[in-house]
Structure 1
Amino acid sequence: MASIEKRGKGSYRLTVELGYDHEGNRIKRRKTVKCKGITEARKELAKFVTEVESGEYITPEKMLFSAFVDEWQENHGNNELGEQTMESYRMYLKNHILPFFGSMRLNEVKPIHVIKFLSEAQRTDGQGELSVGSKQYLYRILRDIFQRAVDWKKIKENPVAAVKKPKAKKGEKKKRAEVYDEDEVRALFAAAQSEPMHWRVFLSLALAAGLRRSELLGIELSKINIEKQEIFIDQAIVRGKNGKPVIKNTKSDASERLISLPSSVTLELKQYIHQLKKERLKSGDDWVEKEHEWLFCNIDGTHFYPTTPSTWWRRFTKRAGVRYIRLHDLRHTSATLLINQGVHAKIISERLGHADIRITMDTYGHALKKADQEAADKLDELFLSEKKQG
């Protein structure tokens, strides 16, 4: 049974009855629509009946967005997403998303709200508008959350799906990673000679192997083959929920890889491992780590906290007078140095553990283009020389 009730000027309430529940109460689905007249309202009622009977109609939830985020974290985020990803998501939720959407009802969020949010998103340090990259990350988080709401029949449509992904403004260039040139790398190693040996080795591996910070922290002695000059990467140490360190598998299947090392770095690594084993013997019962033999560890054998290298790096560059770039940019420096040496992009991609060579091409496209032009110029010299001789 279905009916129409006029509620006001141009407003009609549609009702569809679905029989009785187990307590004998009538099951009703209601919806208020805006129509120009009764004829249009009858058409809306027919569509409403079809939606209800087919199971497509979803009763608008009174659940707040903030309450659904809690449900999303418990039933999806914590189970399906990596620890580091969830930690990043929580930061963006706390600092940006929840202050804007938290008090809104889930079903009340429309595309226009998402557009307004993304266009107005500001840095938390008060230094202006968020970068395009950060806005794209916010977009991804919101789209994921609302898609789960659709999948779980909380809402009918994903409001983010109707919004275009943020992109750089016309004329605005994509921000490139800052890297060191060869002279700066030499100066960096010279400055690092006064640092503890473990930090010197840390820098050498970061630049020679292009490893992520988390991957460096996850290296165990059993994964190093000094004779073959190789290191096997298959795990990482990241920050998990509430900042607790978590040992996890590498980022993707491609991230699990065997990397060849230069002879000089292998020699330095061999000397450091020898020193590390002597320190372990000297520590005796104070060496509490029994399950793992970490390459980079505290005096009791436990691994470094995930942010420890970054803290040391900021302090080191400041006191050494070295130009500061992010610790992660040493990975980009490694790739750029290889490109400048003429190493093929496929090899670089495999060393970095990229899941797809397109990631390498997109990230280092500018450097590859420059190297390609230099190669073309060398051919030009050859052709000009041949023509002159002819």
Structure 2
Amino acid sequence: MTVAGYVGKYFVKKENKELYFYTLTLGKDANGKRIQIKKRGFKSEREAKKALREAQVQADKGSYCEPSKLTYGEFLMEWFRGKSSNYGTQTAKSTESYIRLHIKPQLGQYPLAKLNIITIERFVNGLRDKGLAEGTIKRIFNVVTASLNSAERKDIIPRNVASRIDNKPKAKRKDMQIWNADEVRHFLHTVRKEEVRYYEAFHLALATGMRQGEILGLRWRDVDLERGVISVRQTLSHDGKELRAGAKTTTSIRTISLDADTTQMLEKWKRRQQLEKYDAGGMYINHDLVICTTVGTPTTPRNLSRTWYSMLKKSELHPITFHDLRHTHASLLLKNNVHPKIVSERLGHASIQITLDLYSHLFPNMQEEAAHALGEQLFRT
């Protein structure tokens, strides 16, 4: 099908500015009337021409859908299919459930071009009326915002109305709980003294900043004891039922250098694990896991948590979560003047900005320490 189109401009008196539009002609209907698609609101002629070219390509392929007829539900599912391959398994699952249980039933039937601020505000209020936690509402709202951002970038809608609502969900960020170096040493000493299983998991979390699923999915083939390096290549699912290749995100697949004490700890643990394998005989199921049960099977997060909270109580330290060991690792590195870029790489963050945002509370003290150190070096005689 050959389609024709043109770009023009018009003046918005109320805003005292010129905007651009395009008109796309798709031929004639059964009555001989021209079938035309018009779209307005472009800020520049170049922007309008680009959108027109994309619409022409879609029309030639037979995949063009008039924006006024495309429902938000249809666009949302197409957006999710394209996006889900970039998500970790758990993120993909939770996003799919947000769409299926909350977003699509309430907003899916609306024409994408007709979604407005009031509709989105009512949607957010409806989630609150259901009694959902503000953090959950924020995650659901983030899916809506991300999908509409995509629609705006593709020039399907002139602007993302979700970004302009007055009642945006604001989940309170919990204060980050971390330990200092003395508390870390005390905790590890307590666990060693009790001789319980999973000391190695706690040690790894503090020494590497790895996530729980990454530690429980770690294989010996991904540990180079000679070089003192770990490669994060596999994770254990949250329910402990599935070992998954890859990691949470693309940047989570990474290499982490180990200190000498951690390397020695792993060498010792590997020898002990060989004895367990011998004792278990035919019952041993070899998944090549660093952290596993006495018969080689994956350690469930629930069992690890049980030991964690037991040792936490024994240590009599102020309580933190297992995930806070990751924050403790990062905080100790930053306080020891390790560059945030290196910390970001060890944690597998998508960007250094994530690291800076998470640990910004540390930087005022670090600024003072840096100024003091420089003063000592330059001006004290």
Calculate the TM-score normalised by the size of structure 1: 0.67
Instruction: Report the AA paired with residue 115 of structure 1.
Output: E
- Which aligned pairs between 1:210-225 and structure 2 lie closer than 5 A? 210-225=209-224
Instruction: Report the AA paired with residue 272 of structure 2.
Output: Q
1:142 counterpart (141, 144, 148): 144
Structure 2 equivalent of residue 114 of structure 1: 120
**CA distance in structure 1 between the partners assigned to 2:117 and 2:247 by the alignment:** 36
**1:162-181 deviation digits (Å, cap 9, x = unpaired):** 52488798xx9965422112
**Matched length:** 331
Is 2:194 the counterpart of 1:181?
no
Q: Residue 87 and residue 317 in structure 1: after superposition, are their counterparts in 2 closer, same or farther (change >3 A)? A: farther
Contact 1:221 1:295 in 2 (8 A): yes
Q: Residue 334 and residue 304 in structure 1: after superposition, are their counterparts in 2 closer, same or farther (change >3 A)? A: same
**CA distance in structure 2 between the partners assigned to 1:219 and 1:57 by the alignment:** 49
Contact 2:204 2:210 in 1 (8 A): yes
Contact 1:168 1:174 in 2 (8 A): no
Contact 2:276 2:295 in 1 (8 A): no
**1:317-352 deviation digits (Å, cap 9, x = unpaired):** 346544332222111100111122222223222222
Secondary structure of 1:231's counterpart equals strand
2:290 counterpart (284, 295, 301): 295
Is 2:213 the counterpart of 1:209?
no
Secondary structure of 2:134's counterpart equals coil
RMSD: 4.3
Is 2:265 the counterpart of 1:268?
yes
Structure 1 equivalent of residue 23 of structure 2: none
2:91 counterpart (79, 85, 96): 85
Is 2:332 the counterpart of 1:337?
yes
Contact 1:146 1:158 in 2 (8 A): no
**CA distance in structure 2 between the partners assigned to 1:286 and 1:173 by the alignment:** 48
2:134 counterpart (114, 130, 133): 130
Query: What stretches of structure 1 of length at least 5 have no aligned partner?
Result: 1-15, 31-50
2:308 counterpart (308, 313, 316): 313
Secondary structure of 1:323's counterpart equals coil
**CA distance in structure 2 between the partners assigned to 1:95 and 1:217 by the alignment:** 31
Contact 2:340 2:352 in 1 (8 A): yes
Deviation at 1:283, TM superposition (A): 1.3
Deviation at 1:228, TM superposition (A): 2.9
Instruction: Report the AA paired with residue 333 of structure 1.
Output: T
**CA distance in structure 1 between the partners assigned to 2:133 and 2:246 by the alignment:** 35
2:256 counterpart (239, 252, 259): 259
Is 2:359 the counterpart of 1:364?
yes
- Which aligned pairs between 1:37-52 and structure 2 lie closer than 5 A? none
Instruction: Report the AA paired with residue 143 of structure 1.
Output: T
Is 2:29 the counterpart of 1:19?
yes
Deviation at 1:239, TM superposition (A): 4.5
Q: Residue 59 and residue 380 in structure 1: after superposition, are their counterparts in 2 closer, same or farther (change >3 A)? A: closer
Contact 2:128 2:137 in 1 (8 A): no
Deviation at 1:374, TM superposition (A): 1.0
**CA distance in structure 1 between the partners assigned to 2:275 and 2:330 by the alignment:** 34
Deviation at 1:255, TM superposition (A): 3.2
- Which aligned pairs between 1:187-202 and structure 2 lie closer than 5 A? 187-193=186-192, 198-202=197-201
Contact 2:344 2:352 in 1 (8 A): yes
Structure 1 equivalent of residue 230 of structure 2: 231
**CA distance in structure 2 between the partners assigned to 1:209 and 1:284 by the alignment:** 32
Calculate the TM-score normalised by the size of structure 2: 0.69
Q: Residue 311 and residue 146 in structure 1: after superposition, are their counterparts in 2 closer, same or farther (change >3 A)? A: farther
Structure 2 equivalent of residue 380 of structure 1: 375
Larger radius of gyration: 1
Structure 2 equivalent of residue 249 of structure 1: 246
Q: Residue 149 and residue 361 in structure 1: after superposition, are their counterparts in 2 closer, same or farther (change >3 A)? A: closer
**1:116-172 deviation digits (Å, cap 9, x = unpaired):** 434675498x6x8614xx5553233123455788999xx953885552488798xx9
**1:234-272 deviation digits (Å, cap 9, x = unpaired):** 3323349xx852412134554333322222222222221
Secondary structure of 2:342's counterpart equals helix
Contact 1:83 1:239 in 2 (8 A): no
Instruction: Report the AA paired with residue 199 of structure 2.
Output: R
Instruction: Report the AA paired with residue 275 of structure 1.
Output: R
Contact 1:83 1:246 in 2 (8 A): no
Percent of residue pairs bearing the same amino acid type: 28
Structure 1 equivalent of residue 157 of structure 2: 157
Structure 1 equivalent of residue 66 of structure 2: 57
**CA distance in structure 1 between the partners assigned to 2:351 and 2:203 by the alignment:** 26
Deviation at 1:215, TM superposition (A): 1.5
